[in-house]
């Protein structure tokens, strides 16, 4: 999901370039099909270490990134990172100054010596400036200044709005993030809080995310929050915390009260929660939609009403920790694997918590989709339709159709095995289709083709006995 919180900004700006080499070219290997200007497949990042200093008043960010990476199968004479229009201070490769250009959101680097195939190397980048969202068809993406604080919601290509990265969904790395802010502010980052150190009027928060994470799923929030622990301390299970404006605490306490139950249900149905902890932030501003990040979900104040009016979205964002975060799509054509399972998790929670059954919700979705033009290919919706409601609803219906075809016991066994086999990995529609076939008593190729690769909406699957 995305915040889609209004227009972005033009980022095709010439950055500071020391030792400019205008002969540095773009990518030569396969690019991400929907966003070919993002990421470089010629190398992989192993770890990011980000040291940041942010001042909310002037919206001023200064950062130092140490990026540990490994060259691919061919020697690297050049490579690129994605970074928006900041002022660059220092750029080093293995401690040496390279030639580089920085324009149009791309930092193209030519090392002083070519990097051997398979060689480990380190890039260091210093930058500063006023972060702003990346312009996109869905509004501003990435770093966003709030009335009092900031947040990051990067899906799909907003990460370069605040740090240099290999901005591809299939390049997952570990992160350590140190962020210094004025002491009244709380910093929340997906992962484990290592230290919090106050000196004079500022506090430095250091978080570690050891699980492999794509750049778009590195989320953070800076604000004035009250910390809330969800669930009963000492009972084991996944540590769950929330960060909420004080004025919203009464409503929040009802709206998110059943999140621990959701966690238990999803662990039963999908397998163990894939990360060490889970955090929820409610910002003191309205969002169009909530946003998931690795180990973290961000909600707007408008998603807290004291009546559980948005509880389905609490389930949706939690389910993304399995589908989208631990299991990350290889490229954006496969977005239905994220959103279809998260949508179906909403229906499963409704069914288990005494609401409408999955069959009833599937029927309602089918009626809605039947009234729309049949122009979407679920397995390749196109860039413009990446976040179309049809991707979510037809994705949920596809999961339901698979459940109806397999039966409950094989279906949920298939899902748990899918999650465990690809834990912290990268997945594709082709791999999922082959996986499903191994659990089916009869061929499912026609079913998968009809739902995923043909435009007409297939008939509603026959009812089954609810899984309770």
CATH of the domain at 304: 3.30.2010.30
Tell me which residue of 437, 396, 429 sits closest to 330, measured CA to CA: 429
Q: Among 326, 361, 380, which residue terminates a domain?
A: 326
Residue 306 tokens, joined: 């004291």
Helix (H, G, I), strand (E, B), or coil: what is residue 353?
A: coil
pLDDT over 70 (residue 233): no
pTM comes to 0.92
* Same domain assignment for residues 217 and 260: no
Please report which residue ranges of 229-356 form alpha helices under DSSP H: 249-255, 259-270, 311-319, 335-352
Is the pLDDT confidence value at 339 over 70?
A: yes
pLDDT grade for 431, boundaries at 50, 70 and 90: very high
CATH number of the CATH domain containing 406: 1.10.390.10
In a domain, 107, yes or no: yes
Q: Is residue 144 part of a domain?
A: yes
Answer whether residue 464 is part of any domain.
no
Q: What pLDDT band is residue 234 in, cutting at 50, 70 and 90?
A: low
243 band by pLDDT with thresholds 50, 70 and 90? very high
pLDDT in tens, 140-184: 999 999 999 999 999 999 999 999 999 999 999 999 999 999 999
For residue 460, the Cα-to-chain-centroid distance in whole angstroms is: 31
Report whether pLDDT(320) > 80: yes
Are 342 and 422 found together in one domain? yes
Q: How many domains does the chain have?
A: 3
For residues 82 and 166, is the Cβ–Cβ distance under 8 A? yes
Banded pLDDT at 463 (limits 50, 70, 90) = confident
Mean pLDDT of the chain: 92
pLDDT band per the 50, 70, 90 thresholds, residue 13: very low
Establish if 215 belongs to a structural domain. Answer: yes
Q: Which of 223, 256, 273 is the last residue of a domain?
A: 223
Q: What is the DSSP letter of 416?
A: H
Q: Is residue 34 part of a domain?
A: no
Residue 198 and residue 78 in one domain = yes
List the domain range (segments joined by +) for residue 233: 226-326
Is position 9 within any domain? no
218 shares a domain with 253: no
Same domain as 349, residue 233? no
Cα 357 versus chain centre, distance: 28
End residue of a domain, out of 307, 326, 345: 326
């Amino acid at each position: 999901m995305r915040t889609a919180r209004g227009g972005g900004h033009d980022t095709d700006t010439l950055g500071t370039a020391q030792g400019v080499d205008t002969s540095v070219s773009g990518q030569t290997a396969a690019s991400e099909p929907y966003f070919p200007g993002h990421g470089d497949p010629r190398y992989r990042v192993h770890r990011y270490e980000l040291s940041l200093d942010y001042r909310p008043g002037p919206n001023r960010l200064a950062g130092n990134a140490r990026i540990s990476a490994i060259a691919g199968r061919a020697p690297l004479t050049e490579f690129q990172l994605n970074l928006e229009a900041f002022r660059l201070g220092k750029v080093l490769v293995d401690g040496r100054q390279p030639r580089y250009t920085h324009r149009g959101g791309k930092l193209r680097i030519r090392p002083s010596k070519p990097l051997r195939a398979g060689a480990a190397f380190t890039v260091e980048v210093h930058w500063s400036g006023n972060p702003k969202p990346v312009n996109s068809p869905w509004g501003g993406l990435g770093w966003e200044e709030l009335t009092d604080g900031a947040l990051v919601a990067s899906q799909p290509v907003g990460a370069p709005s605040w740090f240099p990265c290999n901005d591809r969904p299939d390049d997952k790395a570990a992160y350590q993030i140190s962020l210094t802010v004025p002491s009244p502010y709380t910093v929340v980052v997906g992962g484990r809080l290592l230290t919090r150190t106050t000196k004079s009027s500022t506090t430095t928060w250091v978080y570690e995310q050891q699980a492999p994470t794509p750049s778009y799923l590195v989320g953070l929030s800076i604000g004035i929050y009250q910390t809330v622990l969800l669930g009963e301390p000492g009972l084991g299970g996944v540590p769950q915390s929330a960060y909420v404006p004080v004025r919203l605490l009464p409503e929040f306490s009802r709206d998110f009260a059943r999140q621990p139950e959701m966690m238990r249900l999803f662990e039963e149905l999908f397998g163990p929660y894939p990360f060490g902890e889970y955090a929820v932030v409610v910002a003191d501003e309205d969002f169009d939609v909530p946003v998931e990040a690795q180990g973290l979900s961000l909600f707007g104040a408008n998603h807290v009403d004291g009546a559980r009016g948005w509880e389905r979205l609490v389930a949706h964002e939690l389910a993304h920790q399995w589908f989208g975060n631990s299991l990350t799509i290889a490229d954006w054509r496969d977005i239905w694997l994220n959103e279809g399972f998260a949508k179906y998790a909403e229906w499963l929670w409704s069914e288990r918590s005494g609401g409408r059954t999955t069959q009833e919700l599937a029927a309602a979705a089918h009626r809605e989709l039947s009234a729309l033009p049949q122009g979407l290919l679920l397995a390749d919706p196109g860039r413009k339709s990446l976040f179309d409601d049809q991707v979510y609803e037809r994705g949920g219906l596809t999961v339901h159709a698979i459940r109806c075809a397999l039966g409950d016991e094989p279906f949920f066994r298939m899902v748990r095995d899918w999650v465990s086999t690809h834990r912290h990995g990268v997945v594709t529609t082709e791999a999922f289709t082959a996986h499903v076939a191994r659990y089916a008593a009869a061929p499912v190729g026609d079913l998968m083709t009809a739902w995923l690769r043909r435009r007409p909406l297939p008939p509603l699957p026959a009812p089954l006995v609810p899984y309770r």
